Amino acid sequence: MTTISAAEANRHFSQVLRQVARGETLIVTSRGKPMATIAPITHQAGRSLAKHQLLARLTNQPPTGERSWARIELYEE
């Protein structure tokens, strides 16, 4: 794991992203204290998180009313 200051990360952000794309995890510090971690996200982890968030939202969302249209009406002739 590499440590980088916030100022340095700001100045060389594209380089930071290239390092992360290669699989490296960076710890960003501010005034010498760790403040954030920049790490690669795996495709599966991102997809899994998005699916979980969507299902949670749909589960908690109340129905919006009755369906007063037919599927065929959605398409232009």
Q: What is the pLDDT of residues 57-77, one digit of tens each?
A: 999 988 777 878 888 888 876
- Alpha carbon distance 35, 45 (integer Å): 23
In the chain, what are the domain boundaries?
A: 2-60
- Alpha carbon distance 46, 36 (integer Å): 19
Superfamily of structural domain 2-60: YefM-like domain (3.40.1620.10)
CA dihedral sign, ordered 13, 19, 25, 31: negative
Q: What is the pLDDT of residues 14-49, one digit of tens each?
A: 999 999 999 999 999 999 999 999 998 876 777 888
Instruction: Give the C-alpha distances (Å, rounded to integers) separating 28 from 18, 19, 24, 38, 60.
Output: 15, 13, 13, 7, 36
pLDDT at 55: 92
